[in-house]
Amino acid sequence: MTAVLSERPGLVRVALASGDRAYAVTQLTGPVAEGDRVVVNTTAVDLGLGSGGWHIVHWNLSRGPWSEAGPGHLMKLRYTSLQVDTGSAEEDGEVPDALDGTPVVVAGVHSQLPVIAAVIGELRPGTRAAYVMTDGAALPLALSDTVVALSDRGLLCGTVTAGHAFGGTLEALNVPAALALAKHRLEAEVIIVGMGPGIAGTNSRLGFTGLEVAPALDAAAWLGGVPIACLRCSDGDARPRHQGISHHSTTALDAVRSEVEIAVPAGVEPEGDRHRWYRTDPGDVAALLDRIDLHVTTMGRVPAQDRLYFQAAGASGALAVAHLDGTVPEPVTAPGR
């Protein structure tokens, strides 16, 4: 390591003598410093993945034995060489498992999170919005620049990392437990659920990690919340399967067993009558993000290049606020029904 480029709790970005860049998740590796010799995993860069560009520090060869006591006895990354004692908030005692009508917005892509949170903050300032990060993509929450930016702007009241995701304000062993913790320990008025950076997918109907949207919506319904599906839409993606309402959303909505609510922005029509569809207006999302200096992209595209993606995400935040304010509009139906 030739230089420390940046650091924050849980994450250090460094330059390597090879000319490459790497980051260390210090909850797993321990401290790193300029001049240390490190083992790095180069796979993402070697494969040219969208989440690549950075190697990942696996271990620090320049430091002797290192250990750090965890808060409990529950492990994440279990049965791997990097298993870590994160503990779990469930160890601290039972919490009520009723969400009592709390809106739960479930996103399929990490870049929807800042849009949802920004719209909630704009339409209802001071709302306590908590983020539940699933383990469908990146596992360390420390990797998310988005969460740091939202927290700095007061748009999140806390975070819960569920499953093998780790590093949140609270740790949970699964999504239902995380929802209960967000409601009763973080006192959230709205809960936003979604994976961290780096969704994985294939050119197939079922082969994408965003399918986790379905069980997350079912969990919200089971616990008595208001499950709101955040549509993934696009008018800028060159791939036909993601144009209009993405197949990621239609497949997850087909898989969910509960009746859920869906916000549709202008330019999008409901598809089917199995769920409840609502027309909501989040305002000009691009202007909002610019005003609060929040830089968000989807697959490298800024709001001007994919307006529908950002408006659709914002619409789900607007529907959550409508529930809090008691102003939910009448449902809309698919054309011809």
| pLDDT given at position 238 | 79
| 177 and 242 inside one domain | yes
In this structure, are residues 113 and 194 in contact, taking their beta carbons and an 8 Å threshold? Answer: yes
| pLDDT given at position 152 | 97
| 190 and 46 inside one domain | no
| pLDDT given at position 167 | 97
Measured CA to CA, the distance from residue 306 to residue 267 in angstroms comes to 13
Pairing of strands 158-161, 244-245: unpaired
| 222 and 299 inside one domain | yes
In this structure, are residues 180 and 223 in contact, taking their beta carbons and an 8 Å threshold? Answer: yes
Number of structural domains the chain divides into = 2
Is 335 a domain residue? no
What pTM, to 2 d.p., does this model score? 0.95
| 295 and 251 inside one domain | yes
| pLDDT given at position 233 | 92
In this structure, are residues 106 and 212 in contact, taking their beta carbons and an 8 Å threshold? Answer: no
Domain that holds residue 33: 3-60
Is 80 a domain residue? no
| pLDDT given at position 336 | 54
| pLDDT given at position 2 | 97
The phi and psi torsions of 260 (rounded to 5 degrees) equal -125, 170
| pLDDT given at position 123 | 98
| 36 and 95 inside one domain | no
Q: Read out DSSP for 28-74?
A: HH----TT--EEEE-HHHHHT-TT-SSEEEEEETTS-------SSS-
Is 333 a domain residue? no
Residue-wise pLDDT for 76-130, tens only, equals: 999 999 999 999 999 988 999 999 999 999 999 999 999 999 999 999 999 999 9
| 120 and 235 inside one domain | yes
Tokens matching residue 190: 């709205």
| 97 and 53 inside one domain | no
| pLDDT given at position 80 | 93
Is 232 a domain residue? yes
Is 159 a domain residue? yes
| pLDDT given at position 261 | 97
| pLDDT given at position 214 | 97
| 120 and 257 inside one domain | yes
| 207 and 312 inside one domain | yes
Is 321 a domain residue? yes
| 52 and 173 inside one domain | no
pLDDT, averaged in runs of 10, over the chain (337 residues): 96 96 95 96 88 88 88 90 92 93 97 98 98 97 97 98 98 98 98 94 89 97 98 85 83 96 91 90 97 93 93 98 97 75
| 113 and 45 inside one domain | no
- 236 three-class SS: coil
Is 336 a domain residue? no
| pLDDT given at position 49 | 80
Give the DSSP H/E element, type plus range, for residue 120: helix 112-123
| pLDDT given at position 51 | 64
Is 83 a domain residue? no
| 118 and 191 inside one domain | yes
In this structure, are residues 15 and 38 in contact, taking their beta carbons and an 8 Å threshold? Answer: no
